Amino acid sequence: MALKNQYLADLLETVKKRNPGEPEFIQAVTEVLESLEPVAERRPDLVEAGVFERIVEPERQIMFRVPWVDDNGKVQVNRGFRVQFNSAIGPYKGGLRLHPSVYLGIIKFLGFEQIFKNSLTTLPMGGGKGGSDFDPKGKSDAEVMRFCQSFMTELYRHIGPDCDVPAGDIGTGAREVGYMFGQYKRLRNEFTGVLTGKGLTFGGSLARTEATGYGLCYYTDEMLKANGLSFEGKTVVISGSGNVAIYATQKATELGAKVVALSDSNGYIYDKDGIKLDVVKDIKEVRRGRIKEYLDAVPTAEYHEGCRNIWTIPCDIALPCATQNEIDGESAKILAKNGCKAVAEGANMPSTPEAIAVYFENNMLFGPAKAANAGGVAVSGLEMSQNSERLSWTFEEVDGKLKNIMKSIFAACDSAAKEYGMEGNYMAGANIAGFLKVAEAMKAQGVV
Ligand code: NDP
Ligand code: 2IT
């Protein structure tokens, strides 16, 4: 879809020129600007205030050397990133991705998405993202600790509980957050809620571990119900087998669905009887193993090399929870042909633009990442609140708030889509609703 609005078309050209070699960032910006066409038409005041030009440019980008020594005594050098994208509605907030594919363009796309996602949560959080091309896979705990300490030895001067609050993402879980928190506390001599996703003994929130996966299912449930459907009796395919995939599997199963597949970057498992989550948790959370090992405990299941073909498994609902661009146009066509009724994104930007076009052509329900996976950062926001008041809430209290937030996010997407003449297009609704709150704040604060 080409932009019809000349002002936005020119802006997109500028963004492309200014950010060469960053296709994921351009992809994320293109989708948002396409959704915002009716807003630019209806709100000349926001155009005049330069909000569109300003929102596509990060407020600050930090890149730094991360040197550390491996178990063989060899010096290793990684590159660290923190992109502080937008602080109009609150301190920068967003995760840290540790994966060999990380470069500036990945962190910028994630930081840009985070602005709108955080706005949708209704909590006061700006958008940011960070990470490194460090690969935690196959590293010892001691190596991971040395990397995390070195990473934080530079990052600490740029973050703080009222400035920028990082958290987990791919490759960053409780272990990494713990090491980073320890180093931050040592360098600053301050015990503050500077990271979220912390351990429960030092300021972490109950239900943060479950939040993204649970939130994804709460959002999907709302979307299904609004369209006369439910999880009950449905077959679900989930990609990934990390934090988001595991707790999405748990909640979808609790809501009456049967999850039949999970994957990692090597391949996928298919268990027609329904995934046994205790087996997956043991492999992934306890032993840090590979999804293939599921067959050792459940020999009746199948394992297939390569993760792409997971989308050829017939399902009613697909929940991509691994990584960006994991469903392309071709995979989306197969999902549609097999009768899939809904796709909701646990991962960030897992559907290519071609895949999204296929969803709409086939009248499939589509829950976009910045709405559907906002439960993780929402509970991070609740962790910040608990840290500020130096109290901790019960699991039920946090989970109840999460459910209400996901309901309100769906309602915001639904009503913005209707208001701007795109009923049922929750992607446009999410982009518009997320944008408007930040845009009003940016306009009110002047040209900064
Ligand atoms: P984890 O590191 O816990 O798990 C990531 C999972 O995705 C693993 O199974 C991993 O397989 C797989 N994966 C990662 N990269 C690739 C790749 N390039 N190709 C194929 N598979 C891949 O991360 P999370 O579960 O936390 O994150 C998953 C997604 O959810 C990401 O897109 C993240 O940005 C998003 N997200 C996470 C939130 C959170 O709170 N954690 C919040 C909102 C969104 P392998 O082990 O083989 O690498
Ligand atoms: O993509 C995301 O929203 C996250 N990785 C969670 C960010 C957070 O600050 O909890």
User: What integer pLDDT is reported at residue 176 of this predicted model?
Assistant: 98
Q: For 292-347, write each residue's pLDDT tens digit.
A: 999 999 999 999 999 999 999 999 999 999 999 999 999 999 999 999 999 999 99
CA of 141 to the centre of ligand 2 (A): 23
Tokens at 149, concatenated: 């300490």
Mark whether 333 is an active-site residue. Answer: no
* Structure tokens belonging to residue 241: 């087998």
Placement of tokens 């944008």 in the chain? 435
| Mean pLDDT (the chain, rounded) | 98
Q: Which fold has domain 210-367?
A: Rossmann fold (3.40.50)
Does an H or E element contain 124, and which? none
CA 148 → CA 52, 69, 154, 184, distances in Å?
36, 12, 10, 10
Q: Kindly report, residue by residue over 98-110, the tens digit of the pLDDT.
A: 999 999 999 999 9
Distance of CA 6 from the midpoint of ligand 1 (Å): 37
CA 378 to each of CA 8, 85, 129: distance values in angstroms, whole numbers, following the listed order: 30, 18, 15
Asked whether the predicted pLDDT for residue 420 surpasses 80, the reply is yes
Is the separation of the CB atoms in 128 and 164 below 8 Å?
yes
- Measured between alpha carbons, how far is 289 from 49 in angstroms, rounded to an integer? 51
Q: How confident is the model at residue 159 (pLDDT cuts 50, 70, 90)?
A: very high
Residue with CA nearest ligand 1 atom 23: 170
Indicate the top mutation candidate among 377, 385, 406 to test ligand 2's pocket, ranked by most ligand atoms within 8 A of CB.
Answer: 377
| Cβ of 376 less than 6 Å from ligand 2 | yes
Counting atoms of ligand 1 from 1, which one is nearest the CA of 173? 3
Contact 261, 268 (CB under 8 A): yes
pLDDT band (50, 70, 90) for residue 400: very high
**For 341-390, what is each residue's pLDDT tens digit?**
999 999 999 999 999 999 999 999 999 999 999 999 999 999 999 999 99
Is 1's pLDDT higher than 90?
no
| Residue spans per domain, the chain | 6-54, 60-190, 210-367
What is the whole-number distance in angstroms between the Cα of residue 169 and the centre of ligand 2?
Answer: 6
Q: pTM higher than 0.95, yes or no?
A: yes
Distance CA 372, CA 389 (A): 28
Owner of token pair 């995390």: 148
State pLDDT tens for residues 109-158: 999 999 999 999 999 999 999 999 999 999 999 999 999 999 999 999 99
128 lines ligand 2 (CB under 6 A): no
Amino acid identity of residue 238, one-letter, is: I
The per-residue DSSP string of 334-387 comes to HHHHTT--EEE-SSSS-B-HHHHHHHHHTT-EEE-HHHHTTHHHHHHHHHHHHH
Bridge partners (DSSP) of residue 67 are: 77
Q: Which atom of ligand 1 is nearest to the CA of 263?
A: 9
Q: Which residue has the tokens 């973050």?
A: 159
Residue 2: is its pLDDT beyond 90? no
Q: What's the sign of the alpha-carbon dihedral 222, 226, 232, 235?
A: negative
Long-range CB contacts for residues 421-425, cutoff 8 Å, separation at least 24 = 421/38, 422/38, 424/365, 425/360, 425/366
CATH superfamily of domain region 60-190: Leucine Dehydrogenase, chain A, domain 1 (3.40.50.10860)
Q: Is 409 exposed, middle or buried (0-12, 13-18, 19+ CB in 10 A)?
A: buried
Q: Kindly state the average pLDDT of the residues 159-182.
A: 98
pLDDT tens profile 214-266: 999 999 999 999 999 999 999 999 999 999 999 999 999 999 999 999 999 99
Which region, left, alpha or beta, applies to residue 259 given φ > 0 means left and ψ of -120 to 50 means alpha?
A: beta
User: What pLDDT score was predicted for residue 81?
Assistant: 99
Ligand 1 atom 11, closest CA: 264
Mean pLDDT on 391-417: 98
* 60-190 matches 210-367 in fold: yes
Beta pairing partners, 81: 63, 131
Mind listing the pLDDT tens digit for each residue in 62-109?
999 999 999 999 999 999 999 999 999 999 999 999 999 999 999 999
Q: Which tokens in the block code for residue 77? A: 């050098």
As a whole number, mean pLDDT of residues 272-289 equals 97
Give the chain's radius of gyration (CA, Å).
21
Which of 117, 129, 198, 251 is the catalytic position? Answer: 129
